[in-house]
Each structure stands twice: as C-alpha cells, then as structure tokens.
C-alpha cells in the first residue's frame, strides 16, 4: 500500500473514508467484503457525513473540497469559536444536493494530554428527523 493510501486510511478516526461512494473499512484498516467477495459500500447519509467530517480537507486526490479542517482544532475554546463553520464547510456539498438540511454541534469533549477535541454532531435530515453522528475526533 502506498504512503498516500495509508495516510488516507488512517486519517479517518472511525475507520471509513469516502471515494465516489463510501467504502467500508474495518478497524484493522482492511476493506470489508460481502459474501460474494465484493467490497461493501455504505451510501447512507450518516456515513457520507461522517466521512466528510473525518477526512482531512485537501487530502482526497479527486476532490480537493472533500473533508474538513477539524483536524486543526486543538482546544475547546478554538472548537467553540471555529468548529461550527468548519462542519458547515465540510457538509456544504450534501446541503446543496438536498441530502441534509444542516448540522448542529451538541457537545464538546477535550483530551488535554493528546490535544484532541471531540465534537458531538447532529445532522438535520428533514424537518422532523435528525441523525446523531456521535463523537467526531478533531486531532
């Protein structure tokens, strides 16, 4: 595996990244296969949002706008000031295509030893339902 591919795989904190579709990758950074040996794909709105938030912006070769700048956040204060705009920026393509209406950061958690801030993000799918993506790590 090339260093670039390995960097893309390790940049996603929850074990997924996005290409033209979202490809499922196990915790061991292996592609998950279905019963017929083909690569599993997950096209749900939650996976698409999570992939856009966990990938680093500019690292995806075919779409430089893919991903977020959340990895630059190091403190709770910085997260409170900048994270909302960064999440909106990362999810803007999904908002424009009508897949989601918007997002909201519902909580912040900090690990001061490692300089990582985790955000709890909720995605508004339509007027009545929302998806809780859980914690998205920034560091």
Task: Note down the domain range covering 72.
Answer: 3-137
CA distances from 102 to 14, 85, 130 (A): 22, 11, 10
In the block, tokens 């204060």 appear at 77
* Structure tokens belonging to residue 132: 């809780």
User: Total domain count for the chain?
Assistant: 1
pLDDT the model gives residue 20: 39
* Structure tokens belonging to residue 125: 């799918």
What pTM was estimated for this model as a whole?
0.67
- Span 68-83, pLDDT tens digits: 998 888 888 888 899 9
- Span 28-63, pLDDT tens digits: 545 667 788 777 766 788 888 888 888 889 888 888
Domain of 81: which CATH number?
Answer: 3.10.450
């Amino acid at each position: 595996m090339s260093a670039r591919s390995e960097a893309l795989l390790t940049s996603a904190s929850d074990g997924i990244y996005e290409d033209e579709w979202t490809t499922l990758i196990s915790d061991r950074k292996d592609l998950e296969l279905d019963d017929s040996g083909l690569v599993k794909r997950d096209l749900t709105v939650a996976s698409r949002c999570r992939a856009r938030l966990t990938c680093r912006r500019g690292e995806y070769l075919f779409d430089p706008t893919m991903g977020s700048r959340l990895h630059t956040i190091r403190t709770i204060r910085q997260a409170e000031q900048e994270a909302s705009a960064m999440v909106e920026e990362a999810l803007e393509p999904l908002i424009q295509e009508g897949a989601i209406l918007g997002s909201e950061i519902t909580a912040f958690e900090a690990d001061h030893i490692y300089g990582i801030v985790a955000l709890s993000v909720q995605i508004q799918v339509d007027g009545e339902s929302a998806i809780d993506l859980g914690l998205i790590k920034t560091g």
